[in-house]
């Protein structure tokens, strides 16, 4: 009897960790006409999201595109109007107003119905949201805005990872808060160094492996910067025991939607790991903030 060949199993991937609600804000460039463009996109975190995104309204029509559509003088003026409208709506969202109650600052704008978007990274999600509502808009300005909202020391994803790690690790013991964002300036005139976590000889910097091509350069720059800081700190404290450690946030590899994401993440990890090895810096990997909290607990216990 012939046996049927089993179908090739598909790899199971985890659902996207970021979920937002968003809506398109259309704009009428010329009053009295029926012509409308999607000029703004408002978004807020969905109740089921695993990683939060800052509620905000973003202008998705850059000044260059507006110059092409309207001419240089009118394009520049229109860009100022759109930016002012986006700021006003963002302020309203910061005050707690949901998407359904948003309104624009000026006439000629219409707020659409809320939609739901999911993604494996902030950049991917914002790009998908723009593509779904506009043929002319671009997510670059939205992504830049999101990155400016966060600490200049971290990429967006590392900021979110550290925020959740601190919440889980500290829990109800507020005495543990001082272990995060530790500022070190042990020598007169030396630049101040900030480390993500420190307790006794254990000093940990956290970086995220990239989930998109756009993230790859930023992630590598972040990781190299934190490795440099660890090496510099050890040089300053050569008379003291120090255990410099770089922790990788590997959620990109756990939630990878395809081989391309894995390629960016693995290439970044290889480069940073090679540098860490030459400098004798320990490496840790955590796929979630919860895993990272347990690793810190074990590392601290090992020092006891």
pLDDT value at residue 211:
73
27 and 75 share one domain: yes
User: Would you say residue 11 lies in a domain?
Assistant: no
User: Would you say residue 9 lies in a domain?
Assistant: no
Q: Using CA of residue 234, residue 237, residue 239, residue 243, what is the dihedral sign?
A: negative
Determine the average pLDDT of the residues in 180-187.
76
pLDDT value at residue 75:
85
For residues 22 and 148, the model is more confident at: 22
Which residues constitute the domain of residue 203? 156-303
Instruction: Write phi, then psi, for 58 (nearest 5 degrees).
Output: -120, 140
Residue for token pair 């049927």: 4
Where does a domain end: 84, 114, 149? 149
129 and 165 share one domain: no
- In the chain, the number of structural domains is 2
160 and 135 share one domain: no
For residues 238 and 36, the model is more confident at: 36
Q: Tell me the Cα Rg of the chain.
A: 23
For residues 218 and 188, the model is more confident at: 218
Range with the poorest average pLDDT among 43-57, 65-79, 146-160, 205-219: 146-160
User: Would you say residue 142 lies in a domain?
Assistant: yes
CATH code at position 279: 3.40.50
pTM equals 0.56
The angle, 0 to 180 degrees and rounded to 10, between the axes of the packed helices 72-94 and 63-70 is: 130
pLDDT value at residue 255:
58
45 and 104 share one domain: yes
If you average pLDDT over every residue of the chain, what do you get? 80
112 and 250 share one domain: no
């Amino acid at each position: 009897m012939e046996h049927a060949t089993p179908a090739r199993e598909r790899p199971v991937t985890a659902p996207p960790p970021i979920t937002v609600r968003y809506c398109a804000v259309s704009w009428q460039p010329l009053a009295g006409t029926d012509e409308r463009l999607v000029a703004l996109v408002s978004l807020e975190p969905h109740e089921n999201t695993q990683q939060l995104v800052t509620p905000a309204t973003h202008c998705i029509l850059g000044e260059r595109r507006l110059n092409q559509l309207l001419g240089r003088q009118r394009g520049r003026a229109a860009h100022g109007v759109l930016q002012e409208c986006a700021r006003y709506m963002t302020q309203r969202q910061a005050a707690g107003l949901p998407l359904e109650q948003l309104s624009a600052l000026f006439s000629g704008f219409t707020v659409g119905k809320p939609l739901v978007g999911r993604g494996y990274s902030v950049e991917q999600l914002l790009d998908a949201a723009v593509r779904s509502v506009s043929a002319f808009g671009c997510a670059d300005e939205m992504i830049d805005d999101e990155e400016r909202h966060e600490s200049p020391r971290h990429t967006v994803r590392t900021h979110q990872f550290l925020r959740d790690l601190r919440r889980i690790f500290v829990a109800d013991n507020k005495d543990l808060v001082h272990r995060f964002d530790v500022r070190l300036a042990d020598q007169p005139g030396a630049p101040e160094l900030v480390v993500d976590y420190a307790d006794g000889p254990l000093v940990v910097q956290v970086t995220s492996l990239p989930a998109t091509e756009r993230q790859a350069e930023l992630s590598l720059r972040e990781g190299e910067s934190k490795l440099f800081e660890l090496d510099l700190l050890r040089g300053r404290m050569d008379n003291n025991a120090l255990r410099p450690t770089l922790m990788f946030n590997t959620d990109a590899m756990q939630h990878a939607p395809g081989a391309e994401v894995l390629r960016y993440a693995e290439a970044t990890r290889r480069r940073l790991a090679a540098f860490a090895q030459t400098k004798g810096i320990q490496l840790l990997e955590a796929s979630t903030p919860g895993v990272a909290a347990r690793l810190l607990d074990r590392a601290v216990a090992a020092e006891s």
